[in-house]
Amino acid sequence: MPLRHHAPRPGAARVTLLTEGTYPHSHGGVSVWCDQLVSGMPDVDFHVVAVTGTGRESTVWELPPQVTGLDSVPMWGPAPDGAMPRGRALRRLMAAYERFLTALLDPAAESGFAPALYEMARAAQDGTLSPALRDDRAVRILTAVWNRRGLPVREARPTLYDAVTATGLLEHALRPFAARPPERGVSHAVSGGVAALPGLAAAELHGVPLLLTEHGVYLRERYLGYRTAPYRWPVKAVLLGFFRLLAEETYRRAALITPGNRYNRLWEERGGADPRLIRTVYNGVDPAAFPPAGPEPELPTLSWAGRVDPIKDLETLIRAFARVRSELPGARLRLFGGTPRGGEAYRERCEELASSLGQGDAVTFEGRVDEIKDAYAAGNVVMLSSISEGFPFTLIEAMSCGRATVSTDVGGVREAVGPTGLVVPPREPAAMAAAALELLADPPRRAAMGEAARLRVIEQFTLRQTVDTFRAIYLEMSEHGSGSAAVPALADPAPSPAAPTLRFPAAARAARLAPAGHPAAVDLGGMAG
């Protein structure tokens, strides 16, 4: 649904911001980052293409005057307008779709993915892609590809229901192609995956350079999410094959890639990104907006801030708190943040867990607060328990407020914290509890770590540094167009010694996702635990 805001200004740099499930329709770290970027550049014209859920979502961020328009692309709302192609156009599109599916399932045919993808992008602009993929012919094509001799997925005995399910999911996943791709300026995808589709179309059809920023690693998060997805193995093979090849094509096509931390850079390089075109740009905050938090609470209190979501792993935090309270009966755990639509069941599960552990009277879900800095001030120690992160705002905000932190060792957390906080393995309540108890028992150490944390933010992670870096990138890319070599990445510092070595043995990665009792039949590529 297009929304005109302000007319573009002659001479201003133009950026099309590509988002999925974040700005300007929801809160969260990526949305904060987008708002900071847009609001911090009044001299740049922004047009936002936002992939949403149903299309009925309201905007929760006030769009500044430099936003010239907003296009909402619903993944699960009404299908895009269009008509079924006929004759030669239909045959050409269905042939491209067959090559596309073959690339997803046959490693020997992966070179056909990109040409087929862009053929479908052209069809989406004509309004014919979605109707064609909702036709029975699309289901029959997938069934035929699935049952070709020599393809491992054939051994899983895909059913007609599997074919209908997978075809429907692909049709929805490709809907962002229906958005009108920009014809000038710069496309900036603030995540990988389907948000990047309009940017890929713009690069292919109009030569518009694509900038990719990954706060988390989209492909890794899809692998984590699909472990528990309610689909049979053949459906997962199709969808995860799509996400993997889409990630590789986005890395290949991007003029510049700006991960939010060096950990993400490792994933991107393993996914085929050219190291010469990767530049790490950290998130930043305004230290004046997050001043020292002041006196600590009298009762020993752990605070947490974020959205209530499985990826934040509040269950581990609650289990860790139960251990803390066994040592400090007066301890409290205060959880600040909203529950996104669809996440109500997870919140209820967390509340039930707290009650079952006898902690219901000491664990409180506070909801959203007007001033997030109040959430950090509410704790003696600020906790982060996520199983996946990029470069979390809540962490550097808490650091700016001068609070000591205990965080899980995921994403760019270790890069952010350095020596100013404690870092523990994810999903290990005992380690998390031990770290929290260590800090709660040592007020002078907490104070020293908090002071060092604020100084670290002021020196390395300010909002002004982030905004100035991206402004320079936008101007450079606008001047040089789609030539990726024109935007060399500045050399990143060497990854820290603690950075993981990523290896993806084909048999192991397939085995981790194969259904119980079924052989690991499909090489998904890029799989990680």
Tell me the pLDDT of the chain (529 aa) as tens digits: 556 667 788 889 999 999 999 999 998 889 999 999 999 999 999 999 999 999 999 999 999 999 999 999 999 999 999 999 999 999 999 999 999 999 999 999 999 999 999 999 999 999 999 999 999 999 999 999 999 988 888 778 899 999 999 999 999 999 999 999 999 999 999 999 999 999 999 999 999 999 999 988 899 889 888 888 999 999 999 999 999 999 999 999 999 999 999 989 998 999 999 999 999 999 999 999 999 999 999 999 999 999 999 999 999 999 999 999 999 999 999 999 999 888 999 999 999 999 999 999 999 999 999 999 999 999 999 999 999 898 999 999 999 999 999 999 999 999 999 999 999 999 999 999 999 999 999 999 999 999 999 999 999 999 999 999 999 999 999 987 654 444 544 445 444 333 332 222 232 333 333 333 332 222 222 322 3
pLDDT at residue 522, as a whole number = 26
Residues 6+ apart with CB under 8 A from 295: none
Q: The pTM is what? A: 0.83
Please identify, among 140, 172, 204, the residue that sits at the C-terminal boundary of a domain. 172
Dist CA 334 CA 322 (whole Å): 13
Dist CA 301 CA 146 (whole Å): 55
- Same domain membership, residue 71 and residue 11: yes
Dist CA 225 CA 129 (whole Å): 27
pLDDT at residue 153, as a whole number = 80
Please identify, among 411, 426, 460, the residue that sits at the C-terminal boundary of a domain. 460
pLDDT at residue 491, as a whole number = 44
pLDDT at residue 481, as a whole number = 64
As to burial, measured by CB atoms within 10 angstroms (0-12 exposed, 13-18 middle, 19+ buried), residue 83 is exposed
| 392 domain-assigned | yes
Q: Which residues pair with 257 in a beta bridge?
A: 212, 278
Question: At 59, which CATH number?
Answer: 3.40.50.2000
Residues 6+ apart with CB under 8 A from 288: none
- Same domain membership, residue 109 and residue 31: no
Full domain range(s) for residue 131: 87-172
- Same domain membership, residue 269 and residue 211: yes
- Same domain membership, residue 438 and residue 362: yes
Q: Which runs of consecutive H residues, i.e. helices, occur in 207-280?
A: 218-226, 233-253, 262-270
Residues 6+ apart with CB under 8 A from 120: 93, 96, 97, 100, 129, 174, 177
Dist CA 128 CA 93 (whole Å): 9
- Same domain membership, residue 66 and residue 94: no
| 200 domain-assigned | yes
| 502 domain-assigned | no
- Same domain membership, residue 187 and residue 136: no
Please identify, among 460, 479, 497, the residue that sits at the C-terminal boundary of a domain. 460
Tokens describing residue 380 = 């003696």
By the 8 A CB rule, do 304 and 314 touch? yes
| 475 domain-assigned | no
The 3-state DSSP class for residue 475 equals helix
pLDDT at residue 524, as a whole number = 26
- Same domain membership, residue 337 and residue 195: no
Q: What single string gives the DSSP state of each residue in 399-466?
A: HHTT-EEEEES-TTHHHHHGGGSEEE-TT-HHHHHHHHHHHHT-HHHHHHHHHHHHHHHHHH-BHHHH
Q: How many residues does the chain have?
A: 529
Nearest to 395 by CA among 306, 497, 496: 306
| 216 domain-assigned | yes
- Same domain membership, residue 97 and residue 62: no
pLDDT at residue 4, as a whole number = 60
- Same domain membership, residue 264 and residue 232: yes
**CB neighbourhood size of 453 (10 A):** 27
First to last CA, the chain: 37
| 52 domain-assigned | yes
- Same domain membership, residue 454 and residue 423: yes
Structure-token match 């550049």, residue found: 41
- Same domain membership, residue 401 and residue 310: yes
Q: How many domains does the chain have?
A: 3
pLDDT at residue 248, as a whole number = 97
- Same domain membership, residue 407 and residue 328: yes
Q: Can you say whether the dihedral through the CA atoms of 448, 453, 459, 464 is positive or negative?
A: negative
